[in-house]
Structure 1
């Protein structure tokens, strides 16, 4: 019985983690006007290049979308990852970073 409860708890955690990662990919897709596959690649790169667990990066991106605050290292890496995808001729705002509620760039 204890094994089943532990397995159930692990499955619930996996489902929650997957949802957080999917939401973070959505944030990247919206900000960068990218495909979901590109969003996934950028999320992985953010994790690897900042030496931060993928789930933690995903949680921070979701919080950033809601609050406008993002860790400086992750924000700088996100800008670096999005830069090659910016197509200012078709999407004049694709190179912009998300701004906070006060209109200033989040850090």
Structure 2
């Protein structure tokens, strides 16, 4: 194999790796924001909010990133899909029995 072909393959592999890392960083930021929303909504600790998001994802068969995106949009849009809302409320109520259901208001 020529040096040029190896170099081109290395560059392509590095570009793919950079794209994957960028996607991972963006997804992580969205999940962190969703954790903040769950903390505010449910009055729970960050590690518990993370567990709530995972549980909602599993119970609704929705990718965690998609759950996080919906939860982050919720305070702005004032809407959360009913299946996610039900799963979120149930999960928060299990971990925080004093939780009162509150609808976030849009700005």
User: Which range, TM-score by smaller chain?
Assistant: 0.7 to 0.9
User: Matched residue pairs, number?
Assistant: 96
Match of 1:95? 100
For structure 1, which runs of at least 5 residues remain unmatched after alignment? 88-93, 103-107
RMSD: 1.5
Give 1:12's aligned residue.
22
SS of corresponding position for 1:78: helix
Residues 6-45 of structure 1 mapped to structure 2, 5 A cutoff:
6-45=16-55
Give 1:56's aligned residue: 66
* TM norm structure 2: 0.83
Structure 2 unmatched runs, 5+: 1-10
Q: Tell me, in whole angstroms, the C-alpha distance in 2 between the residues paired with 1:2 and 1:50.
A: 37
Q: Deviation above 3 Å: which 4+ runs of structure 1?
A: 99-102
Q: In structure 1, how many angstroms separate the alpha carbons of the residues matched to 2:93 and 2:21? A: 37
Q: Which has the larger radius of gyration?
A: 2
Residues 58-73 of structure 1 aligned to structure 2 (within 5 Å): 58-73=68-83
